[in-house]
């Protein structure tokens, strides 16, 4: 099967969150199954490992012809194309300190068109991918890709066997913009109803309407977006019935405590206690926290977005920090929460560190050093950090929503089951109660704690299983 994964982010080249992780890792897992896979993303900057193919395409959009170039890299049996255009060469992927870029619809429509063109134009060690391809678009950015296929290519007899899949990583972002921008997309007005959302142009709705299959990033999220977490698109998602799948994300090999190059000391299930002790000590040293092996260390790594519920941690902090704990947080985003990180450090100097920014190495070291990982998300399509935590023997405390429900099972002391705590209601009380149980178990029931860690570490979150499910959905997405 020839598969083109088209995304605004592909790690390690570009990443602001899990979208990048998934579009980096899933293609590798598909290639390992023997599929021919190409990722297509913008060339946000000069990547040292990607070379100019010399191929150019001219694309008419927003009243002008735009020339794009294609850069190519190949790693782990996966081809990667980076679409080159001046509108991608900016400080941020989606925006800067003034907010989202005003021409994002143009930028990502250009990516979508360039991706379709690439399939027939750009040779990948010989031959282009061809028209017999599965397009896997992701989130609102490439929601217009299925529109282009239906409106421009299929009517001309092209890509007639091509499948289209829309991956839903986050229905909370839909790229909605003014209706008049539709004219810039250069498709006939008869397609407007697919994009029309209360009189505005909604690229995610467009993809959700026109992609032949839709894949949400966890089974529970696939249900939630048809009920109350579709941000207004519940009706569209439920109308897609059997075309809507939920497939859980996997964990990439870069997140394996046995081989993680960022750690002070690597470890596995057999030496988890010793490994975590060494990594905790290193984190305390590095962050200037008191070197105390026994103090429960709470970790948090997140985009500081409303979605992530970090405000709940803020509200619960006075309660949490009345206990003998250390709290280490890493994130960037909302200036209010960044401000709170700094303030919390000042208020509890020997207990709290709030690192503002994006720091891959520190994210790994927190997963390894912390005892408990906090993830009180309001909604969470899948969530990767809770899975990383379980792999690292770090016990997650999460709000029971989205993929967190599919992955974290609340500890049951009678049955001796469970891998963490998932609190049912999004509230400070919910978080506090779950944290109460977690701290009580950590301090007083060491054997039970070790059982929770072990069960988490034994869970199979490999990409291989999910990649097989993707393959089935891809095959089913052909006309
Ligand atoms: P989302 O995609 O909604 O941000 P996920 O849990 O799926 O949530 O994935 C988040 C990814 O981004 C993880 O790999 C996490 O480690 C990473 N991440 C988030 N914030 C930061 C940060 N400030 N520094 C480093 N990595 C971060
Ligand atoms: C999104 C979601 C997150 C998910 C990630 C990768 O950003 O917020 O829950 O894990 O995409 O699919």
Write the residue with the smallest CA distance to atom 12 of ligand 2. Answer: 169
Closest ligand, as measured to the CA of 7? 2
Output the CA torsion 23→26→31→33 (10° steps): -170
Q: Is 383 near ligand 2, meaning CB less than 6 Å away?
A: yes
Q: How far is the CA of 186 from the centre of ligand 1 (A)?
A: 35
Q: Which numbered atom of ligand 1 lies nearest the CA of 249?
A: 7
Q: Which numbered atom of ligand 1 lies nearest the CA of 169?
A: 2
Q: How far is the CA of 303 from the centre of ligand 1 (A)?
A: 6
Q: How far is the CA of 383 from the centre of ligand 1 (A)?
A: 9
Write the residue with the smallest CA distance to atom 3 of ligand 2. Answer: 383
Q: How far is the CA of 31 from the centre of ligand 2 (A)?
A: 22
Write the residue with the smallest CA distance to atom 19 of ligand 1. Answer: 302
| Secondary structure class of 357 (helix, strand, coil) | coil
Write the residue with the smallest CA distance to atom 5 of ligand 2. Answer: 18
**Under 8 Å between Cβ of 44 and 72:** no
Give ∠ CA 24-27-29 in degrees, rounded to 5: 110
Listed in order, strand segments (DSSP E) in 145-243 are 163-168, 196-197, 200-201, 213-216
Q: What pTM, to 2 d.p., does this model score?
A: 0.96
| Secondary structure class of 141 (helix, strand, coil) | helix
Residue that has been written with the tokens 């191929």 in this structure: 55
Q: Which numbered atom of ligand 2 lies nearest the CA of 307?
A: 8
Helix (H) or strand (E) holding 354: strand 352-356
Percentage of the chain lying above the pLDDT 70 cut: 100
CA–CA distance, 266 with 256 (Å, rounded to integer): 9
User: In the prediction, which pLDDT does 97 show?
Assistant: 85
Q: How far is the CA of 304 from the centre of ligand 1 (A)?
A: 10
Helix (H) or strand (E) holding 134: strand 133-138
Q: How far apart are the first and last CA of the chain?
A: 15
Q: How far is the CA of 122 from the centre of ligand 1 (A)?
A: 32
User: In the prediction, which pLDDT does 32 show?
Assistant: 97
User: In the prediction, which pLDDT does 249 show?
Assistant: 98
Q: Which numbered atom of ligand 1 lies nearest the CA of 382?
A: 7
Pick from 301, 291, 233, 227: nearest CA to 262: 301
- Reported as a single tens digit per residue, the pLDDT across 296-341 is 999 999 999 999 999 999 999 999 999 999 999 999 999 999 999 9
Give ∠ CA 430-431-437 in degrees, rounded to 5: 95
**pLDDT by residue, tens only, the chain of 479 residues:** 999 999 999 999 999 999 999 999 999 999 999 999 999 999 999 999 999 999 999 999 999 999 999 999 999 999 999 999 999 999 999 999 889 999 999 999 999 999 999 999 999 988 999 999 999 999 999 999 999 999 999 999 999 999 999 999 999 999 999 999 999 999 999 999 999 999 999 999 999 999 999 999 999 999 999 999 999 999 999 999 999 999 999 999 999 999 999 999 999 999 999 999 999 999 999 999 999 999 999 999 999 999 999 999 999 999 999 999 999 999 999 999 999 999 999 999 999 999 999 999 999 999 999 999 999 999 999 999 999 999 999 999 999 999 999 999 999 999 999 999 999 999 999 999 999 999 999 999 999 999 999 999 999 999 999 999 999 999 999 99
Q: Which numbered atom of ligand 1 lies nearest the CA of 360?
A: 25
Q: Is 412 exposed, middle or buried (0-12, 13-18, 19+ CB in 10 A)?
A: exposed
Q: Is 249 near ligand 2, meaning CB less than 6 Å away?
A: yes
- Report the residue among 27, 166, 172, 217 best suited for mutation to probe ligand 2: largest number of ligand atoms under 8 A from its CB: 217
Q: Which numbered atom of ligand 1 lies nearest the CA of 308?
A: 3
Q: Is 305 near ligand 2, meaning CB less than 6 Å away?
A: no
């Amino acid at each position: 099967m020839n598969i083109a994964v088209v995304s605004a982010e592909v790690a390690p080249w570009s990443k602001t969150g899990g979208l990048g992780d998934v579009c980096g890792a899933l293609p590798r897992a598909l290639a390992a199954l023997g599929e021919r896979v190409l990722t297509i993303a913008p060339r946000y900057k000069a990547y040292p490992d990607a070379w100019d193919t010399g191929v150019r395409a001219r694309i008419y959009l927003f009243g002008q012809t735009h020339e794009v170039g294609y850069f190519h890299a190949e790693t782990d049996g996966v081809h990667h194309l980076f679409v080159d255009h001046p509108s991608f060469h900016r400080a941020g992927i989606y925006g800067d300190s003034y907010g989202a870029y005003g021409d994002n619809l143009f930028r990502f429509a250009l990516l979508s068109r360039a991706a379709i063109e690439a399939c027939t134009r750009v040779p990948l060690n010989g031959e282009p991918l061809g028209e017999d391809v599965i397009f896997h678009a992701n989130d609102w950015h490439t929601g217009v890709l299925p529109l282009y296929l239906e409106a421009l290519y299929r009517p001309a007899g092209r890509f007639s066997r091509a499948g289209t899949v829309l991956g839903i990583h986050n229905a909370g972002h839909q790229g909605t913009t003014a209706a008049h921008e539709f004219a810039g997309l250069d498709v006939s007005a008869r397609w407007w109803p697919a994009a029309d959302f209360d009189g505005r142009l909604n690229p995610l709705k467009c993809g959700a309407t026109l992609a032949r299959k839709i894949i949400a990033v966890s089974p529970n999220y696939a249900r939630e977006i048809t009920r109350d977490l579709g941000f207004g698109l519940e009706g569209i998602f439920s109308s897609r019935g059997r075309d809507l799948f939920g497939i859980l994300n996997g964990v990439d090999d870069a997140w394996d405590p046995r081989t993680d190059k960022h750690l002070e000391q690597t470890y596995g299930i057999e030496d988890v206690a010793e490994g975590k002790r060494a990594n905790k000590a290193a984190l305390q040293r590095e962050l200037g926290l008191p070197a105390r092996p026994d103090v429960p260390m709470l970790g948090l790594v997140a985009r500081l977005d409303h979605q992530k519920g970090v405000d709940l941690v803020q509200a619960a902090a006075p309660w949490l920090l009345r206990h003998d704990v250390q709290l280490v947080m890493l994130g960037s985003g909302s200036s209010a929460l960044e401000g709170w990180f700094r303030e919390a450090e000042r208020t509890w100097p020997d207990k709290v560190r709030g690192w503002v920014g994006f720091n891959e190495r520190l994210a790994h070291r927190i997963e390894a050093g912390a005892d408990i990982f906090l993830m009180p998300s309001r909604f969470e399509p899948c969530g990767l950090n809770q899975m990383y935590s379980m792999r690292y023997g770090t016990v997650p405390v999460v709000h029971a929503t989205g993929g967190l429900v599919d992955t974290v099972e609340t500890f049951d002391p009678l049955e001796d089951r469970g891998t963490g705590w998932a609190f049912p209601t999004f509230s400070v009380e919910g978080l506090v109660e779950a944290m109460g149980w977690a701290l009580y178990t950590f301090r007083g029931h060491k054997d039970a704690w070790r059982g929770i860690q072990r069960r988490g570490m034994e869970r199979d979150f490999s990409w291989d299983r999910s990649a097989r499910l993707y393959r089935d959905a891809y095959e089913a997405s052909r006309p």
